[in-house]
Chains A and B, each alone.
Chain A
Amino acid sequence: MTTREIELKALMLASLDGDAASHRALLERLSRRLRAYYKAKLARIGRDATEAEDLVQEAVLAIHIKRHTYDPAEPLTPWVHAIARYKLIDFLRRNRASISDVPIEEADTVMAQDDNVGAESTYDLKRLMQRLPEKMRCSIEAVKLDGQSIAEAADRCGISESGVKVNIHRGLKTLAVLIARETRT
């Protein structure tokens, strides 16, 4: 087992316990690896590497939303790799590319390189947010974008604190669907 696997797994376990700093560090490190992975994959099948950032964000969002499916008894790398690969195949299918073009590779390659370029995707979060139902939009804006506490958000959106949590959760899932639709060409 590599040092990287051990470090990332430790961050993941802390994140599952609700540690925000670890969660952030984990997503930052994974997003760099995902960027390198997607750029390499898209380049290999002759597609525009600028699409890589859309995929990075889809995968980061998926890792966040689906983090309850990680089994702490297993290593983290195969879990991340399976999600990254699933999102790539899904993306290519949406864009009507041939799936057989995607090389099946060792799980290590997703963790192979770092890619540190600060990057931007083609979609606009603020605009997508407008399409969410009012309570979801308000909850996500308050907590996730403006950094307010759950209690402040509950006040601002006129719903209960547990309502805010539920709306954030559902809102992120809906956003993931909207983002996926957005990247369909």
Chain B
Amino acid sequence: MKTDDLVAALSAHVEPVNRKLVSRTVYIALTAGTAVALGIMLVGLGVRADLMTARALLFLLLKLAFTVGIVGVASAYLMRLARPGSQARTWSISAAVPFVAIVLVSAISLGLAPSSHWNKMVMGDEWLECLLSIPIIAIVPFAVIIAAVRRTAPTNLVRTGAVAGLIAGGVSAMAYALHCTDDSFPFVAIWYGGTIVLCTLAGAALGPRLLRW
């Protein structure tokens, strides 16, 4: 095939392109992923019974601040990764900020508590449920986000896969927070943070396979 023929063929009937398509695709995936995660949480686990008490609401807000922070930064990062040639290096540092913050706050709260409370603060009542729920709930949002990213043009597939996993983990933890009754910073740092990191690593491993174009 001659390259000139290919160029001629591609130039017959050129359609105008929607310049907002990349961000719109990511937003739709994010909304759909969040809705699915909330649905799975409501059906499979249910909202915590004491949700309307002040202490529960306060901790729910803190968990949401952590997870929404992750999802927000990671989504902005993903939109840069979705476009070839975007400068995105500094975003890796931004994506780590919520994790660093929660680890610092946990260290302080452990420092302020007597050491006899540490075991309960770190392990909570439902660490195993948390460890399993967040990655499982993250599967469908991950698939939705990957499907959206496949419509764009990521050139760093490992990093893009990792950020897709990070968003999926964040969205899943956001939904799980409505169910979870373990209210301590170290618990959130280890079991929320840890499982979200696991989702990120899984995304990095799957990225090159799922995102090639």
Contacts and interface: CB of A to CB of B under 8 A. Distances in A.
Contact of B19 (A16, A120, A149): A16
A121 B3 contact: yes
Given A16-B19, A62-B153, A67-B17, 14 more contacts: A15-B14, A17-B16, A19-B14, A23-B11, A31-B7, A56-B3, A57-B1, A71-B86, A74-B86, A79-B83, A86-B153, A119-B3, A120-B3, A143-B12
Nearest to B9: A144
A70 to B, nearest CB: 7
Q: How large is the interface on A (under 10, 10 to 19, 20 to 34, 35 or more residues)?
A: 35 or more
A81 B85 contact: yes
22 contacts: A16-B16, A17-B16, A17-B17, A18-B14, A19-B14, A56-B3, A60-B3, A64-B10, A66-B152, A66-B213, A68-B22, A69-B83, A71-B86, A79-B85, A80-B85, A82-B84, A83-B155, A118-B2, A119-B2, A120-B1, A121-B1, A147-B12
B67 to A, nearest CB: 28
Interface residues of B, number: 31
A24 interface: yes
B14 A66 contact: no
B159 to A, nearest CB: 13
Nearest to B18: A68
Interface string B1-29: 11111111111111111110110000000
Contacts of A81: 85
Contact of A24 (B3, B11, B16, B84): B11
A114 to B, nearest CB: 14
Interface of A: 15-21, 23-24, 27-28, 31, 35, 53, 56-57, 60-62, 64, 66-72, 74, 77-83, 85-86, 90, 107, 118-121, 123-125, 140, 143-145, 147, 149-150, 165, 168, 172, 176
Contact of B84 (A19, A79, A125): A79
Interface of B: 1-19, 21-22, 82-86, 152-153, 155, 212-213
B156 to A, nearest CB: 9
A123 B15 CA distance: 27
B212 A90 contact: yes
A83 B83 CA distance: 10
A144 B15 CA distance: 13
Nearest to A21: B11
B86 A123 contact: no
B10 A60 contact: yes
Given A17-B16, A165-B15, A70 B83 contact: yes
B91 to A, nearest CB: 15
A18 B85 contact: no
A122 B175 CA distance: 52
Given A16-B17, A18-B14, A67-B17, A24 B6 contact: no
